[in-house]
Amino acid sequence: MVRVRAGDIPPLPPFTREVLDHYFSAARTEAALPELEPQADPRPILFTVEEAADLLRIGRSMVFELIARGELESIRIGRRRLVERTAVDTYIAHQRESRRDHAG
């Protein structure tokens, strides 16, 4: 076990101290802390069939089968078949739910 004495800890930089003081004073006065903005999803909005297959860890032909069966939604732009990231997330969620339904 390492013992640390108060004198061993270096002082905080001024900016860090100001931020901590602000949050602790806000907590003491019960003022609302600022909301953190949700981070944007870094994934692209549309995936190619190959990219969707990579994400789902399945083959390209299986993605086409899922699309044909209506289990995975897709759109067509010109000759390209694209899968929205929300469709991939929805498919995964349905797979989880069906797994729970069969387990219990």
**Strands of 46-48's sheet in order across:** 46-48, 80-84, 75-77
- Print the domain residue range for 90: 46-103
Q: What is the pLDDT of residues 48-85, one digit of tens each?
A: 999 999 999 999 999 999 999 999 999 999 999 999 99
The count of structural domains within the chain is: 1
pLDDT at res. 24: 67
The reply to whether 79 falls in a domain is yes
**φ, ψ for residue 60, nearest 5 deg:** -60, -45
Helix (H, G, I), strand (E, B) or coil at 45: coil
pTM of the full predicted structure? 0.58
The reply to whether 41 falls in a domain is no
